[in-house]
Structure 1
Amino acid sequence: MEVGATMGIISLLPATIAIILAFRTRNTVFSLAVAIFIGVLVAGKGLMGFPTILKTSLGTTSFSWILLLELFIGIVIAFFQRTGAIQGFTKIMEDKKLSRKNVQLTAWVMGMFVFFSDYFSPLFVGSTMRSLSDKARISREKLAYIADSTSAPVSVLAPITGWAVFISGLLVGMGPVENAEQAMMVFTRAVPFNFYAIIAVILVGLFAVGVIPDFGPMKKAEKRALEEGKVLRDGAEPLIGEELTDTPSYEGIKTHIFFDFIFPVLIVVTIAIGTFITLKSAKTMEAFLTAAVVLGIIMRIQGVPFNDIMKTAMSGMKGVMPAIIILALSYTINALSKEMGTANYIISVTESWLTPNLLPLITFLIAATISFSTGTSWGTFAIVMPIAAPLAFNFSGNEVTVLVLATVSAVAGGGVFGDHCSPLSDTTILASTGAAADHIDHVKTQIPYALVAAGVAAVVYLIIGFVAV
């Protein structure tokens, strides 16, 4: 299919089927598989189209990267469990006698601290805070929401992340932006206009302290956890293997919180941020590989047998397999939607509305729709930015005005919306994994909160569109 081509409204079919089935059956793997199978048939690829699309979409560097990243993160978390590090961290926090409110605030702050990776953040926050959260009778859905809302929404606001480099890179050559430095300057100036991400992060704190009371499905989940002690609903299927929830600490090991927990985390943070500064690319996967190796050596020094270390590493890999399977199918349906021209169709039916006054609002809505339908934020950035940003520069006379900054942030915020709450999104999947929550329960409870942030952001973009022009 040629660039810009689309199969029309039929291109929406795979994503629509996947989302509807996921909510109806509560089985994401089944829903994605059916949606892909029907999609390849509708696209005229025949019965062999299903295995073919799997091979082409999964046999890529991008999927290999996230596959290895998840495996190494799984190993590190399993090592945390086996050394007693997470249990020790939980004990320290318990000794502080944190209230239910403060447990949520701790998870919120922790998520913002690990801002450099939207993949690591939800897994780290969920796995380290899960035990403490359960004891405080906080629903797994609420923990998943906190972990999810402090991952991508925070990453897109920080100018020293891969998100910033990618988005700013798309701006080079547009309007007066001639190089990467100028593009990064535009991105940095646009951050205050990323209303969706800012509001999404702030809302977590407001819900945590009770300034805004829980509502909708989340209120029901929290009431169940608080009154019945059920952090999961009856019949829920946590999106994580038992290997990462029931791994006991090694008998006789003397846990050192610094060496077994803090030091490996510092390794990840140092390598990720250090390589970003020096190489302009955060080597997150390499950071976790290093942390896993170092932590394995520390465990051996502490007296854990080599065979036990290897068995624990394999358990960590098995524990993240449920998430990896869904990620693989999500990558596949995203590739299929791209081939069918889903994003091109959405843009084609809305581009006539892109007037100067409505540009920020419509840009935000288009980006949000595409990202929710496809589950990819970066893919949305790559599709929408080359259309919206030149329009904004054209309306502004090739000057970096408020209209331009708002439009750039509208693309970024809209992309994060889908990454934040689509059942097809990788970070949404990882938030369910880290919190050991039922994936669809997480999505259903989080969507109303995401819609509040999106609604407020949309109103502000509408106001800015009329004030700035």
Structure 2
Amino acid sequence: MNCLLKSTAETVTINMHKKTCYSITGVIFPGLILLLIPAFAGAADTGLENSGWISILPPLLAIFLALWFKRVIPALFSGIWIGAWAINGGNLFALWTGLLDTFQKYILEALADSDHAAVILFSMMVGGMVGIISRNGGMQGIVNHIVRWADSARHATIATYALGMAIFFDDYANTLVVGNTMRSVTDRFHISRAKLAYIVDSTAAPVAAIAIITTWIGAEVGYIGDAISKSGVESESAYIIFLRTIPYSFYPLLTLLFVGFIAFGRRDFGPMLKAERHALEHAAGPQANVNNPDLVEPMAGKPQRPINAIIPVLVLIVSLIGGLFATGEGDSLKDIIGSSDSYKALMWASMLAVLAAALISMAQRILTLEDVIESWFSGARVMLMAMVILLLAWALGKTTESLGTANFLVSLLGDGFPEWILPTLVFVLSAATAFATGSSWGTMGILMPLVVPLSFAILQVNGIEQPVDSPLFAATIAGVLGGAVWGDHCSPISDTTIMSSMATGCDHIEHVHTQLPYALLVGFVAIAFGTLPAGFGVPWWISLLSGAVMLALVYRFVAKPISPAD
């Protein structure tokens, strides 16, 4: 899923010896650090209220290890361990008691929390639903209807773009389905594999990150809600806060717009233009072997009806809205949704969507009960490692809360820290972390527990009494989400980047080389016209409009036609 290299990455050419060394060192090195730290642990004995620099060790260690070893799970675990060590006194014996508390206190309590359990259940259920509608041919039916329209090179790229937008509920399913389906179509019209990989990669995570109901929602709402609850601030539901961040998700929104320019315009620049012209004269360009072991194939010999995917997704959306109303109170729509229990609503909606997918599949005799169960497990299994990262991120957030990390950072920055820089600073930091780790979900898990309380404190210091209602807060939270997607797009070790190369049959280095200029362009435009103006209070719609105009101007005057006919 979003944060995994999974088995699809195995087909990428990687030095196995180096990979093995990283895996071993990624476990041993954190332990060595933990053994050495007690030599400098005098500060920890003064008590948690004066823990000072000790309080920033857990997140710093997690970030450092994630950047160094490209492994998010050992990094998060090490951060929790060192946090538990500091809380237990910071001495040599505390290494052992801290290790025990890592499991029996922080991880177990994170799992036992009812809201956390609801998020995990929702994510697994939606993953299972995706598995069922893939197996019953519903998703393939949508693909078949769109592909029929692709009778030219321009229509083929537009169809690829439309498919990427249509399969919005899961970036992994999006990548595998669109990449595998459109590969033969784009080859027929001499469209480069690099162009196909770019469109697939750049519509997968961005649309899944900002759509109102996707496999990303559980994690995003979980991160936001957990961080806010630990800050002790009264606020509306985490889902409503997430909805407020969508207009400020400048990079995902502008990326989807720019991919539209590319799909409709048949113009390119930089390495992509070279790849397209080469494909026009010769073939699709540098290719790779195609191997998608995690792709759930439709049942052979069964009808592939789009309605079999559309109905469960509609049930998911309608049930979510109904759940928000059922659990909310108040006289106005804003009050009802704002006071709703988004965790219950998400859980109910995902359960009903799975039931709908199962019932329509069995009623048409496309799948048996055994097929439904097997398909559900195939889809849910893809979410497993993502849920492990989510669980560890919650546990790390609890340790930083106990150590007062956010309070220390605020005291370190001082009262004069300018609040206007927050969205941009967070966006760039998130992008850098995601680029180095290759994990957007891991990045969100590491940064969100720090960014939320830090934002509250800085905004309050600067005279904003209700930070959670501030557009600046929404822009800062969106900076974590958008920056994670940007870094993920630019990173050669990102799971979605690798999967896009695999699903489209594009050489991985060629994909990274051709996508990077486009991703950097949109990222810098998102900063210049999005996060920076948002820090000064410019309305989001002005930022998006000005950013869109800038991208349109760059595309018009820098990009060149692929062929004279275009």
Whether these two folds match at TM > 0.5 is yes
Residues 237-268 of structure 1 show CA distances to partners (whole Å, capped at 9, x for unaligned) of 86xx53x43x34154x444432x222222211
Change (3 A) 1:66 1:18: same
Of the candidates 357, 367, 379, which is equivalent to residue 295 of structure 1? Answer: 357
> For structure 1, which segment, 12-21 or 275-284, has the greater mean C-alpha deviation from structure 2 after superposition?
275-284
Residue 387 (str. 1) matches residue 449 (str. 2): no
Aligned to 2:166: 110
Matched residue type, 2:349: A
Query: Separation in 2 of the partners of 1:304 and 1:317?
Result: 17
Residues 207-245 of structure 1 show CA distances to partners (whole Å, capped at 9, x for unaligned) of 4445874767x89999999976689845x986xx53x43
Of the candidates 361, 368, 371, which is equivalent to residue 421 of structure 2? Answer: 361
The number of aligned residues is 423
Query: Separation in 2 of the partners of 1:346 and 1:448?
Result: 38
Larger Cα Rg: Structure 1 or Structure 2? 2
Contact 2:73 2:392 in 1 (8 A): no
Query: Separation in 2 of the partners of 1:346 and 1:134?
Result: 52
1:146 positional shift: 0.9
Residues 137-168 of structure 1 show CA distances to partners (whole Å, capped at 9, x for unaligned) of 45456423312112324559xxx999899989
Of the candidates 303, 314, 318, which is equivalent to residue 270 of structure 1? Answer: 318
Query: Separation in 2 of the partners of 1:319 and 1:230?
Result: 32
Aligned to 1:100: 156
Of the candidates 371, 375, 385, which is equivalent to residue 443 of structure 2? Answer: 375
Contact 1:85 1:256 in 2 (8 A): yes
Residue 65 (str. 1) matches residue 148 (str. 2): no
Of the candidates 140, 148, 152, which is equivalent to residue 205 of structure 2? Answer: 148
Query: Separation in 1 of the partners of 2:291 and 2:412?
Result: 39
Matched residue type, 1:102: I
Aligned to 1:26: none
Q: Give the number of the structure with larger relative contact order, counting CA–CA contacts within 8 Å between residues 6 or more apart.
A: 1
Report 1:193-342 matches (<5 A): 195-196=250-251, 198-209=253-264, 213=268, 233=288, 242=294, 244-245=295-296, 247-251=297-301, 253-258=302-307, 260-279=308-327, 280-282=340-342, 283-304=345-366, 306=368, 309-329=369-389, 331-333=391-393, 335-336=395-396, 339=399
1:393 positional shift: 3.7
Aligned to 2:528: 459
Residues 166-185 of structure 1 show CA distances to partners (whole Å, capped at 9, x for unaligned) of 9899999xxxx99869xx89
Aligned to 2:10: none
Query: Separation in 1 of the partners of 2:277 and 2:78?
Result: 39
Matched residue type, 2:299: S
Matched residue type, 1:129: V
1:313 positional shift: 2.4
Matched residue type, 1:272: L
Contact 1:154 1:197 in 2 (8 A): no
Change (3 A) 1:437 1:60: farther
Contact 1:65 1:285 in 2 (8 A): yes
Change (3 A) 1:454 1:229: closer
Matched residue type, 1:257: P
Contact 2:324 2:341 in 1 (8 A): yes
Change (3 A) 1:54 1:19: farther
Change (3 A) 1:292 1:406: closer
Aligned to 1:83: 136
Query: Separation in 1 of the partners of 2:501 and 2:354?
Result: 21
Query: Separation in 1 of the partners of 2:355 and 2:160?
Result: 31
Query: Separation in 2 of the partners of 1:154 and 1:353?
Result: 37
Query: Separation in 2 of the partners of 1:86 and 1:391?
Result: 50
Query: Separation in 2 of the partners of 1:14 and 1:198?
Result: 29
Query: Separation in 2 of the partners of 1:170 and 1:108?
Result: 31
Structure 2 gap ranges (5+): 1-46, 86-94, 187-192, 328-339, 435-441, 489-493, 539-566
1:33 positional shift: 4.2
Contact 1:15 1:35 in 2 (8 A): yes
Query: Separation in 2 of the partners of 1:104 and 1:265?
Result: 20
Contact 1:12 1:337 in 2 (8 A): no
Change (3 A) 1:79 1:281: same
Contact 1:6 1:345 in 2 (8 A): no
Residues 303-357 of structure 1 show CA distances to partners (whole Å, capped at 9, x for unaligned) of 3464xx323422432344244224413531563366256973994597349555x
Please state whether the residue corresponding to 2:365 is helix, strand or coil.
coil
Query: Separation in 2 of the partners of 1:48 and 1:271?
Result: 42
Of the candidates 32, 35, 58, which is equivalent to residue 75 of structure 2? Answer: 35
Query: Separation in 1 of the partners of 2:347 and 2:486?
Result: 24
Contact 1:152 1:419 in 2 (8 A): no
Query: Separation in 1 of the partners of 2:449 and 2:389?
Result: 16
Residues 283-309 of structure 1 show CA distances to partners (whole Å, capped at 9, x for unaligned) of 233223212222322222223464xx3
- Superposed CA RMSD: 5.3
Matched residue type, 1:79: I
Change (3 A) 1:384 1:103: farther
> For structure 1, which segment, 69-78 or 340-349, has the greater mean C-alpha deviation from structure 2 after superposition?
340-349
Change (3 A) 1:92 1:198: closer
Contact 1:101 1:208 in 2 (8 A): yes
Contact 2:164 2:200 in 1 (8 A): no
Change (3 A) 1:361 1:267: same
Matched residue type, 1:132: T
Query: Separation in 2 of the partners of 1:287 and 1:248?
Result: 24
1:106 positional shift: 0.4
1:365 positional shift: 0.7
